[in-house]
Amino acid sequence: MTISVFLFSLLGAMALGMPIAFALLACGVALMVHLDSFDTQILAQNLLEGVNNYPLMAVPFFMLAGELMNAGGLSRRIVSVAEALVGHVRGGLGYVAILACVIVASISGSAVADTAAVAALLIPMMRQAGYDVPRSAGLIAAGGIIAPIIPPSIAFVVFGVAAQVSITKLFLAGIFPGLMMAAALAFTWWLCAKKEPIATDRRFDVAKLRRALVDGVWALALPGVIIGGMKFGVFTPTEAAVVAVVYALLVGRFVYRELKLHQVPELMLTAAKTSSTVMFLVACALVSAWLITIADIPAQATALLQPFMDSPILLMFVIMILVIVVGTALDLMPTVLILSPILMPVVKQAGIDPIYFGVMFIMNNAIGLLTPPVGTVLNVVAGVARTGLDGVIKGVWPFLAAQTVLLFLFVLFPSLVTVPAGWFR
């Protein structure tokens, strides 16, 4: 009965067109009424406590770091380095897009922001070079979802808070899967590029690469600073976000001199607006999460999944399919915040490593950013590329299939995630 109240209130509020954050709050109220414990003071207290969390401070700082990076010329120089490195091969701009997505992802950790930045720089170049624009847009969209996996990932921060899992361990465990996602995209693009009527008469230019590296060394150093600092215990993920902001500000202002002081307040306002949406969503979701625990919904979910508990791999398959289905209707953050408190007790009881599950869970939700009808990243790249959403959906399917196959490969062979995670730790 409690699960029915939870689902009916949440889905009913969403069906009425209520924003996700308010739907979660309405769901929490419905659960309190069902449990005969409605109290506005407790509701307000949990709403405030939901965001009164030190690790969540990383979210606005990483958002601001991404804005400063784009305005300060760091993103453009990263693309220039990638273009000098692999732009000479057949279909080279596709490989440039993948490489740029990986490097940019290791700075800001936001799929939407990273996709918009890379698409704005590369789509005009690919269109001018004669590439199929919907397929190119689909590739960049698929590359953009690497951002929630490679550190610093905002999704890992939110999941770590919601599931009470080490964010630093999640960050380090996401490095190898993120690189594997890039490799899967590169292989798929290689297959697609053979059908493209694009040939290049360019050759690898050492001098051009050297110039691009010299010009972009400060931009390329930022991922190393963030990941290295966390690995060696110099700073926490939250402190790493502050370091990223200061670094991007100083490099954009004093090294590249493209960031103007009058731009900073506007960039801070943009980051604040984006962050406030995420933080309010987290606050409302953690109210529901608290009530989910009080109502003992995890135990009921465990009972429903009991037939699969003896086989962790089979259980992971069931959970991943569930998340794929939910991901077609919900965005990444709501799915993470709604399902984390329900699934984590099940995962722990089944003996599945919470860090491994966290990586798989976020990767699955990131793939959901590419699945219609929601497909947030698809909408972003379609807008930037000025092409129809239908074309982008058609263009993204080969890359979406590659990422999904990789996801289930990780389910079948968990050591592909857990063993490299041990290396980075």
Same domain, 221 and 304: yes
Q: Residue 393 corresponds to which amino acid?
A: I
Residue written as token pair 């933080």: 279
Closest C-alpha among 47, 36, 141 to residue 97: 141
pLDDT 10s digits, 227-244: 888 778 788 888 888 888
Structural domain count of the chain: 2
Q: Would residue 46 count as lying in a domain?
A: no
Percent of the chain with pLDDT over 90: 19
Same domain, 19 and 160: no
Same domain, 222 and 304: yes
Contact 62, 100 (CB under 8 A): no
Report residue 195 as tokens: 């059908």
Highest mean pLDDT: which range of 82-96, 119-133, 354-368: 354-368
Q: Is residue 412 predicted with pLDDT exceeding 70?
A: yes
Q: Would residue 47 count as lying in a domain?
A: no
Model pTM? Answer: 0.82
Q: Would residue 50 count as lying in a domain?
A: no
Same domain, 176 and 29: no
Contact 15, 329 (CB under 8 A): no
Q: Would residue 20 count as lying in a domain?
A: yes
The secondary structure of residue 148, as a DSSP letter, is: T
Same domain, 127 and 28: no
Q: Would residue 364 count as lying in a domain?
A: yes
pLDDT 10s digits, 311-359: 889 999 999 988 888 877 677 888 888 888 888 888 988 889 999 999 9
* Confidence at residue 108, expressed as pLDDT on a 0 to 100 scale: 72
Same domain, 192 and 89: yes
Q: Is residue 139 predicted with pLDDT exceeding 80?
A: yes
Q: Would residue 189 count as lying in a domain?
A: yes
Same domain, 313 and 409: yes
Task: Identify the weakest region by mean pLDDT among 169-183, 314-328, 395-409.
Answer: 314-328
Task: Identify the weakest region by mean pLDDT among 182-191, 350-359, 384-393.
Answer: 384-393
* Confidence at residue 401, expressed as pLDDT on a 0 to 100 scale: 94
Same domain, 97 and 213: yes
- Residue 414 banded pLDDT, cuts 50, 70, 90: very high
Same domain, 243 and 96: yes
Task: Identify the weakest region by mean pLDDT among 13-17, 115-119, 255-259, 391-395.
Answer: 13-17
Q: What would the DSSP string read from start to end of 223-249?
A: HHHHHHHHHTTSS-HHHHHHHHHHHHH
Domain hosting residue 106, numbered range: 55-424
Degrees, nearest 5: CA angle 297-302-308: 155
Q: What would the DSSP string read from start to end of 35-55?
A: TT---HHHHHHHHHHHH--GG
